[in-house]
Amino acid sequence: MKKYAYIGALGFLAIITTEFGIIGILPQIAEHYQIGIDKAGYLLGAFALAIALTGPFMTLLLSGFDRKKVMLIAIFIFLLTGIISSFLPPFWLLMLVRILPAFLQPVYIATALSVAVSQGNKQNENELMSIVFSGVAIAMVTTVPFATYIASIFHWEYSFIVQAIISIVALLAIYFVLPAMPVREKKSYGSQLKILKKPMFIVSTSMNFFMIAAWFSTYSYFADYLNKAKDMDGTMVSYMLFVFGIIGVFANWIAGKLLNKNITYTTVFFLSGTIIVPILLHFSGGNTMATVMVIALWGFLYSPSFLNASTYMISSAPEAMEFANSLATSFGNLGVTLGTTVGGLIIVSKGVQFTPWITVLFGVLAFLMIGLRSRLEKNPT
C-alpha cells in the first residue's frame, strides 16, 4: 500500500524542513548573533554530526519497539525544536535544541522506509522508497523556500514557526492514519552488525559519505553563495530555492524509476552533477538567466542524492535493511558535517565563490568508490 509510503514522506517533510530550512536564514542568524557565517553553519553541521554519531546505535536500540510509536516520538521532538527555536533563544540554547531531534532522525527514516517497503513487493521496493524520500524534494519546493521567504518578509524566527506547523501536521497524520505496528520478529544485534565486515558495504558507505560531502560543501551555503557570488537578495534566493525544489520533486520520481532498473548507473548519472554543476556555476558568471538554468540542473541532479545513497548502500547489505539504512543516514549526515565544515573554512579563507570546487574534489572521491565497488563485485576476493 502506497498510503504508508506517503505518510512516511510527510514525516520526512517535517524533518527536512527542520534540518535544511535553516540554510536560507543562516545570513540573518549570523547577523542577529553577531557571529561569522561559518559559525552559524554549525547549526547545520552539529545537527548532522549528532545524527552521524548516534543514528545506528539508536536504530539498533529501538528496533524492537512499535514502529508507529517510534515515528510519533521522533516527530514530536522535531515539533518541540521548532517551538523553542522560534523564541529567539541564546545561541547555545538554539544549538542545543537543534541537536536533540538529531538523535531520532535516522530512527524515523529507517522506520518509515521499513514500514513503506513492508507493504509492497520486491519489484516496487525502490519506488516505495522514492515516495518516502520525495519528502526531501517536496520540502525543497514548498516548506524550505516558503520558510526562507517568510523570514525575508518578517524575521528569521518565523522560519521556525513554519517548521513547527509542518511537524504538527505530520504528527497528526501518523497518529490517525497508521495502525499500531509492533515488531513481530526482532533481528539479533549480531546478525545486523555482520554487515560492518563486508568490504562491499564499507566501500558503498564511503561513496555515500563523499557524495553527500560534495553536495553540501556548496549547498549548505546556498543563500550566502547566491547573495555574494551571484548578487541575489533574500527574496530572489527564496525563488531560487523554489526552482531548485520543484525540479527536485520530478528528479526524485525519475530516480525511483531508474533505480528499479539499475542502481549503479542511476547513482553515477546523478553523481555527475558534482562535477558538472560547479563548472557551469563558474562559467555562468553574473548572467542571472544562466544562473537560474544551472540552479534548475543543480536541483535535478542533487535532489535524489539521499535516495541514491541509501539505495546504493542497502543493495550491498539487503539482509539488514533498517540498520544499513540508519548507517546510510548517519554517514550521509557525517558527509553533511564534513562538507559544511570544509565549505565554511573555504569561505573564511578564500571566499564563498570557491566552495563549488570543493564539490568537485569530493565528487571525484565518490566516483573512485563506485569504481572500487565495481571491482569488488567482479572479483570479491
| Structure confidence at residue 119 (pLDDT) | 67
Residue where the block lists cell 517536496? 138
d(CA 317, CA 44): 29
Classified as helix, coil or strand, 247 is helix
| Structure confidence at residue 188 (pLDDT) | 59
Q: What is the pLDDT of residues 327-377, one digit of tens each?
A: 887 888 788 888 888 988 888 888 888 888 999 999 999 999 999 999 988
pLDDT mean across residues, the chain: 84
Q: What is the pLDDT of residues 174-204, one digit of tens each?
A: 999 888 777 766 665 666 677 888 889 899 9
Cell numbers describing residue 69: 510509536
Q: Choose the weakest-confidence range: 117-121, 154-158, 279-283, 307-311.
A: 117-121
DSSP line for 209-225: HHHHHHHHHHHTTHHHH
> Minimal CA–CA distance to 216: which of 302, 130, 148?
302
DSSP-derived letter for residue 187 is P
Cell numbers describing residue 49: 554530526
- CA-angle at 211, arms to 245 and 201, nearest 5°: 125
| Structure confidence at residue 358 (pLDDT) | 92
d(CA 12, CA 113): 10
313 close to 110: Cβ distance less than 8 angstroms: no
Tell me how far CA of residue 313 lies from CA of 215, 264, 308, 317, 349, in angstroms: 18, 11, 9, 7, 35
| Structure confidence at residue 191 (pLDDT) | 61
Residue where the block lists cell 547555545? 92
> Minimal CA–CA distance to 42: which of 350, 345, 359, 322?
345
DSSP line for 334-364: HHHHHHHHHHHHHHHHT-GGGHHHHHHHHHH
| Structure confidence at residue 23 (pLDDT) | 76
309 close to 328: Cβ distance less than 8 angstroms: yes
The structure's pTM equals 0.75
d(CA 304, CA 266): 10
d(CA 307, CA 212): 11
Q: Which stretches does DSSP call E strand in 272-319?
A: none
215 close to 108: Cβ distance less than 8 angstroms: no
Tell me how far CA of residue 270 lies from CA of 267, 275, 309, 345, in angstroms: 5, 10, 10, 26
Q: What is the pLDDT of residues 31-69, one digit of tens each?
A: 889 988 878 888 887 887 787 788 778 877 887 788 899
Cell numbers describing residue 228: 555574494
Mean pLDDT along residues 75-96: 91
- pLDDT band of residue 173 (cuts 50, 70, 90) is very high
Helices H / strands E in the chain, number of each: 20, 0
Q: What is the pLDDT of residues 291-324, one digit of tens each?
A: 889 988 998 998 888 888 888 988 888 777 777 8
| Structure confidence at residue 157 (pLDDT) | 83
| Structure confidence at residue 245 (pLDDT) | 76
Residue where the block lists cell 535524489? 304
- pLDDT band of residue 214 (cuts 50, 70, 90) is very high
| Structure confidence at residue 21 (pLDDT) | 81
For residue 148, pLDDT beyond 80: no
H or E, element range at 200: helix 199-219
Highest mean pLDDT of the ranges 31-45, 143-157, 183-197, 255-269: 255-269
Residue where the block lists cell 537560474? 292
